[in-house]
DNA sequence: CAATCAATTCGAAAATTATCGAAATAAACC
DNA sequence: GGTTTATTTCGATAATTTTCGAATTGATTG
């Protein structure tokens, strides 16, 4: 049942992705992008909607992007950001849960 | 410093839970508990397996517990920890993704 | 009650992360 | 080329998190 997914995360990458989500501002930014859907938003609009602007927003978006949760592409004089959290969150969840109970002694009874 | 914002109250809790997952050591600790399954592990065994001990481990476990990802219960002179990440991760994923595309004009376009 | 084992609290230093404003870069437009 | 708009880089400061060892608390055993 394994579907084509973003790169399998190692511990370091998974922790970095969770850490990227672990800030109220960044989580708010990402949810704004999730709401906006695949078309994405410019940095300016994103900042207005999420309530974070300027260099602070640049900083947070960079962290989300390097965690693989957001893409950025220049379009004219704006940078369009879009969430790619959809698959990524499933991947992170899998990373955490797949080995569930692997250490238990009596898997077959 | 924490800034007063019109953020939904759940945002704070969700960000705290993601932040709890956003450390290599804590993620490693939690995965060790997930592997161990519902019976859980004592702090001592957990520390040996995950490679984190003493006050540092206490600190990390406290963060995981207050994020609702781990339970603790005293049993004799040990504290038994167990992962409750199973449902919790789904909840976090939902928090992030449920409003997907809500802001788009043409939801099925 | 003293000794022991398991885990926590405390206090402090080191490391990382967050925030902001000013200056710099990049693209579009005149 | 020079101006306007959009975003980023830089540098400094504030805030938070991590880590460790020593002292402490709680529970069990003799």
Task: Give which of B86, B101, B48 is closest to A85, Cα–Cα.
Answer: B101
What's the CA–C1' distance between B87 and C21, in Å?
44
Place of tokens 């997930």: B34
Q: Select from B24, B26, B34 the Cβ nearest to the Cβ of A99.
A: B34
Nucleotide with minimal C1' distance from the CA of B77 is D27
Cβ pair B104:A12 closer than 8 A = no
Q: Select from A14, A51, A101 the Cβ nearest to the Cβ of B35.
A: A101
Q: Is the pLDDT of residue B108 over 80?
A: no
Cβ pair A85:B96 closer than 8 A = yes
Contacts of B37 in chain A (CB under 8 A): 100-101, 103-104
pLDDT digits (tens, 9 = 90+) for A38-49: 999 999 999 999
What's the CA–C1' distance between A64 and D9, in Å?
18
Who contacts A20 (Cβ-Cβ below 8 Å, separation ≥6)? Answer: A26, A63, A64, A66, A67, A69, B22
pLDDT digits (tens, 9 = 90+) for B69-98: 999 999 999 999 999 977 888 888 888 888
pLDDT digits (tens, 9 = 90+) for A14-36: 999 999 999 999 999 999 999 99
Contact assessment for residue A82 and residue A39, using Cβ atoms and an 8 Å cutoff: yes
Q: What is the pLDDT of residue A108?
A: 44
């Amino acid at each position: 049942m394994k579907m084509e997914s973003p790169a399998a995360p190692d511990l370091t990458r998974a922790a970095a992705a969770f850490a990227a989500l672990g800030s109220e501002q960044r989580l708010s930014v990402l949810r704004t992008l999730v709401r906006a859907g695949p078309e994405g938003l410019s940095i300016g609009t994103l900042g207005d909607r999420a309530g974070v602007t300027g260099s602070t927003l640049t900083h947070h978006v960079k962290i989300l992007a390097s965690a693989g949760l957001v893409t950025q592409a220049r379009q004219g004089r704006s940078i369009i950001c879009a969430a790619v959290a959809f698959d990524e969150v499933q991947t992170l969840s899998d990373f955490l849960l797949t080995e569930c109970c692997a250490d238990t002694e009596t898997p077959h009874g």
